[in-house]
Amino acid sequence: MLNPNSPIPLYHQLADIILEGIRSGKYPPGSKIPSESALASTYKIGRPTVRQATEILIKKRLLIRKRGAGTFVEKEPQEVDLFSLAGTITSFHKRGISITTRILKKTRLITVQDDPENPFSERKAYFLSRISLVEKEPVLIEDLYLDPMLFMGIEEIDLTDRSLSQVVDEQYYMRPIGGKQNFRIGYLSGQKALNLDVSQSTPILIVKRFLDFSQKKNAIYSELYCRTDQFIFSQKIGVTVNS
């Protein structure tokens, strides 16, 4: 029960009680917790105090409020090994997650602007940008740069809902043999923020990936902008996965 004589505010005490219920399994992921009026009656407090308690857990992404339905325990984010050599779409499919992709900018040959991190800086490369969605919710954006000699003709291939690693394997008879990735937290603005449906203050996982092939090092370079509120993006250490 709540202790009105404690220096800890009542709403914080109630939040701790609900949190313990989540951790103990009393309120499993996806389940509905008691209503505000029920909690107010049980703990002999006002509904505004109850709402303060649930707001704490909503901000921590442990609860979610659904209009007209009540407040529910958030489901645990699914884990996706996004960073294997198998590629992004394949990684989702291996977890049984249905993902769709939409082309934002069609594949075309460009001269890449000056960028110290981009291996194609101030050189020509095939470029395309696409967005991946799970249940119509945007999850990540990929900006891809491909070697123009190794991937000649790729602008003629529709990469909507197709794994790039599979296309490279089947059409060009190549598989990545290694590479590296850089990780950072950043923020988006403009069209990218609109496409991912995030605000300019929402932290985004940014991954810069360099893929090596036996024919050429850094033959594919990509920049990934990942929302982390729906999925945990992981990386297996010491494991090479080929599609």
CATH code for position 134? 3.40.1410.10
Q: Single out the residue in 73, 100, 123 at which a domain terminates.
A: 73
Confidence of residue 76 (pLDDT cuts 50, 70, 90): low
243 within some domain: no
Lowest mean pLDDT among 12-16, 80-84, 211-215, 220-224: 80-84
Non-local CB neighbours of 129 within 8 Å, separated by 6+ positions: 103, 104, 105, 141, 142, 143, 144
| Phi, psi (deg, nearest 5) at residue 194 | -65, -45
Q: What is the pLDDT of residues 91-133, one digit of tens each?
A: 565 556 677 889 999 999 999 999 999 999 999 999 999 998 8
Shared domain for 152 and 38, answered yes or no, is no
4 within some domain: no
The mean of the pLDDT values for the chain is 85
Shared domain for 158 and 191, answered yes or no, is yes
pTM (two decimals): 0.62
Shared domain for 111 and 168, answered yes or no, is yes
Confidence of residue 227 (pLDDT cuts 50, 70, 90): confident
Q: Is the pLDDT at 52 greater than 80, yes or no?
A: yes
Non-local CB neighbours of 122 within 8 Å, separated by 6+ positions: 111, 112, 113, 114
CB 186, CB 198: distance < 8 Å: no
- Would you tell me how many other CB atoms lie within 10 Å of the CB of residue 195? 16
More confident residue, 220 or 79: 220
Q: Is the pLDDT at 80 greater than 60, yes or no?
A: no
Once rounded to an integer, what is the mean pLDDT over residues 11-30? Answer: 91
Shared domain for 67 and 85, answered yes or no, is no
Q: What is the pLDDT of residues 156-206, one digit of tens each?
A: 999 888 888 888 888 898 888 888 888 899 999 999 999 999 899 989 999
Give the chain's domain count. 2
Shared domain for 142 and 182, answered yes or no, is yes
Q: Single out the residue in 18, 53, 73 at which a domain terminates.
A: 73
Return the residue matching tokens 């505010």: 9
Beta bridge partners of 178: 212
Shared domain for 162 and 218, answered yes or no, is yes
- Would you tell me how many other CB atoms lie within 10 Å of the CB of residue 25? 9
Residue 123's domain comprises 78-233
**Which tokens hold the place of 184?**
């950072």
**Which tokens hold the place of 8?**
């800890």
Shared domain for 113 and 45, answered yes or no, is no
Shared domain for 63 and 107, answered yes or no, is no
pLDDT for residue 83: 46
Q: Single out the residue in 73, 100, 122 at which a domain terminates.
A: 73
143 within some domain: yes
Burial (0-12, 13-18, 19+ Cβ within 10 Å), 192:
middle
Q: CA dihedral defined by 23, 34, 232, 159, rounded to 10 degrees?
A: 160
- Express as a percent the part of the chain with pLDDT over 70: 85
